Structure 1
């Protein structure tokens, strides 16, 4: 009985120590977050005109199906886009100033809309038996480091159908440059296409 009580007391002490240590480290993380956020909110506006904006070459958009996705891509071809996936608002404010956050967010929203429209339009092109055109559009999205799994797997399917399995390794290399949580999932999916 004494041994059981001693083990129980030791367990409670260890548990109490672990909880206290975790609470302390959590407080430090929170304090650091709020300090970064405070600094970010006071960062002066910086020039964002020289950023590496993404633009859709209008000639890359096949304009023959007249779908909503096609119209979206045509509209986006005249808008600025930035792939800010994996970058927090705090990081954006620290880097470019809080005053630029709304503008940068709109460019990122354009990119997100682009990825969605490419995904949809590629499927519409494939349904219309325009495989090469769909492939070109998907390759454009990959060159912009889109992080939609279906863009990569659809392109891998097309490469496999055409006997171009060597291009799948190129897709894996492109996916390795993605800065989001989807990266590892995309890479694992693409590895299943390798011979």
Structure 2
């Protein structure tokens, strides 16, 4: 009885070792590919950044200077206004190596700052929109969060709040709700982010619920 068990155990060990070696070789190859790509990226000459998709904050279209005594709104507005003269670009999901390959290694510091500015912007927009929503200022919240979506934010809370406002807070008729939800879909589908599936699922479920109710 012990021999079959021993034989099976030995076979399992052999298979495990073979599998481990395959995984190890795959990891080694991935590391080699990465460093080769990084080496190539570091040799790319500096390129012009004038054609980047810069984001400009529409200060005339957003509800600035309406915070009153609300400190959360005041801080959010200040954080966003601090960025209005900065260069802002959404590089979500793009690695530094790929940025260097595309624009040159000498530009990586500037590009990283543009991306940090973008992250700061969409985080502040989410805080601003959330507090406006909490205060019952749904049209203002919608304006803020729709701008965030135009920048292709991947913050799921932004889409969640918009879906809720479209369906229950703005007094929209069914055709208007459907139009606004459908307008979110192509943007969500093109997100270069791990949260894309979650966001598209939220939108799809909102549309499906409308169809069921109809």
- TM over 0.5, yes or no? yes
Pairing 1:57–2:58 present: yes
Q: Is 1:97 equivalent to 2:104 in the alignment?
A: yes
Superposition RMSD in Å: 1.5
Kept in 2, the 8 Å contact 1:61–1:73? The answer is no
- Do structure 1's residue 190 and structure 2's residue 203 form an aligned pair? yes
* TM-score normalised by the chain length of structure 1: 0.93
Distance 1:96 1:13 in 2: 48
State the shift of 1:189 in Å.
2.5
Give the match's secondary structure for 2:144.
helix
CA contact (8 A) 1:61 1:70 kept: no
Q: Tell me the residue number matched to 1:165.
A: 177
How many pairs align? 195
Unaligned 5+ runs, structure 2: 69-73, 210-214
Alignment of 1:41 with 2:53, yes or no, is: no
CA contact (8 A) 1:159 1:165 kept: yes
Report the CA distance between 1:110 and its aligned residue.
Answer: 0.9
Q: Is the 8 A contact 1:61 1:74 kept in 2?
A: no
How far apart, in 1, do the equivalents of 2:148 and 2:76 lie?
14
Matched residue, 2:4: 3
Contact 2:62 2:143 in 1 (8 A): no
- Taking the TM superposition and a 5 Å limit, the aligned residue runs for 1:10-29 are 10-29=11-30
Distance 1:58 1:77 in 2: 8
1:87 deviates by: 0.3
For the residues of structure 1 that align with 2:13 and 2:166, how far apart are their CA atoms? 59
Alignment partners' CA distance in 2, 1:126 and 1:5:
66
